[in-house]
Amino acid sequence: MNQKGSSMPAQCFLGVDLGAESGRVLAGRLHDNKIQLEEIYRFSNGPVPLAGTRRWNVTGLWSSILKGLTLAAQKYGDQIVSVGVDTWGVDYVLLSEKQEMLGQPYHYRDPRTEGMLNLATSRVPQQEIFDATGLQFMEINTLYQLLAMQQTDPELLQQARTFLMIPDFFHWLLSGSQVVEFTNATTTQCLNPLTGDWAYDLLRKLEIPTSLLPKLVSPGTKLGTLREEVMQYTGLRKIDVITPATHDTASAVAAIPTSQTGTPNWAYISSGTWSLMGVEVNSAVLGKRAFELNFTNEGGIDGTYRLLKNIMGLWLVQECKRSYERQGQTMEYSELAEAAASAEPFRSLVDPDDPRFLSPSDMLEAISKYCKESSQPVPETPGQYIRCALESLALKYRKVSGWLEELTGTPIEVIHIVGGGTKNELLNQFTANACQIPVITGPVEATGLGNVLVQARAAGAVSSLSEIRNIVLNSIETKRYEPQEKTVWEQAIQRFDSLLNNNKVKS
């Protein structure tokens, strides 16, 4: 931050952070090279069952956002400089020529995309799709959602005049802008990382209309000021609407307190329902090996890419907890972690990314079947189930870290873990043990911090990505985990490798 700004009153930047289970309106107050993040308003989110489909209630979310902005205006008034929205990736809203929303937006777990990946690769070779987009193959990707719509509801798709990702939709409601921000666009499998523009040739081959795709903008773009109606409703003055890195993981990675910006010798894990593990690189990593390993290149700050892999993450633990609750056993996460810590090590292992764990009706049953089919002891207690999930996750992190080193040619020296998973100390230590390199955790609120600090940079209060990360380091406490138990974890790695090979799972 400029020295002359150090004695200025705190500036306030509002971040709207929408996750798959909840949303928040946050206030980030920047002063004396430190950022203080405050939760102004939290509200629930999640899929809405609608006539056999899964949808997002975006109008309900907008109502909650307005309430949060109203509370922020009452508390911070003229200190507020700007507002920006980040969300999950892949999902979108379609607008008609008259700016009407065409249907209730689909949730990425809606089953309509089943079989769409196979349909796409029957029309265009899989390697060609990867070369054109650099993205891993998951049926939840926007590309397959649009293909599903083309198959089942082509009339509605033909009516569409504007395609907006979820955060861009809310930026439109805030300011009237109709653009798509780069980091979230890279999650669609509709963007070419070599050109930095939409993958027009690929989309035409798949007969997906391209005329509805708006201009792409970078993180930190000023979209305009608040609509008059939003100002009147919330009491906010005519503040700027600024795109943060609108994909939540891109915002989280921007806030990792590393001193090694610009080099791929550190890895990150954004740990939550999903674990996203990767490195920050200056250009997309394409080619046959990245394709074989099903890695993805998602956009970051300043034109960087996050070479990463999606791992099922703490979804396994969350769903085990839900399964127990349905049986009448209610346990806190802290109780489950304590039970796992005292359970027998390496009794049972699973591949967290086996398709059966994506959306099972009962996670306990899914894990039991996997163990039975792979001739392992079936977990019997909560501690055994949770330990199985956590050890398996740590071992998958080890696999992915090895692949990252192979793809970049650079050894990883430290792993930074951010997000809600930083609270799971057992998993953090398992990760250090499995990877045999130090793990540093924090911040928990990486996404929110990244959101508001990118806005601060756009406002001229911060000068660079390195300075953003230095401000985060000045503002939070981190925790370091040193690797332990090398021999037993090396033995577990060999067993895990054998398990993946025997089950012929493409990891």
Known catalytic residues are 248
With vertex at residue 411, the alpha carbon angle to CA 409 and CA 412, rounded to the nearest 5 degrees, is: 125
**Token reading at 296:** 């993805």
Element (H, E) at 276: strand 275-281
Q: Which of 482, 88, 67, 41 is nearest to 252 (CA)?
A: 88
Cβ atoms within 10 Å of 372's Cβ, excluding its own: 12
**Token reading at 192:** 């070419």
**Token reading at 427:** 């998993």
Q: Which of 22, 85, 450 is nearest to 268 (CA)?
A: 450
Q: In sequence order, which residues have a C-beta less than 8 Å from that of residue 429 and are 6 or more positions away? A: 439, 481, 484
Residue with tokens 């930026």: 171
CB 222 within 8 A of CB 242: yes
**Token reading at 369:** 């079947």
With vertex at residue 203, the alpha carbon angle to CA 201 and CA 206, rounded to the nearest 5 degrees, is: 115
Q: In sequence order, which residues have a C-beta less than 8 Å from that of residue 80 and are 6 or more positions away? A: 12, 13, 14, 27, 72, 73, 236, 237, 239
- Provide Rg for the chain, Cα atoms: 22
What is the end-to-end Cα distance of the chain in Å, rounded? 43
C-alpha distances in Å from residue 479, one per residue of 278, 400, 429, 445: 20, 22, 11, 14
Bridge partners (DSSP) of residue 34 are: 31
Tell me the residue ranges of DSSP E strands in 21-117.
22-31, 34-44, 48-50, 53-55, 80-86, 92-95
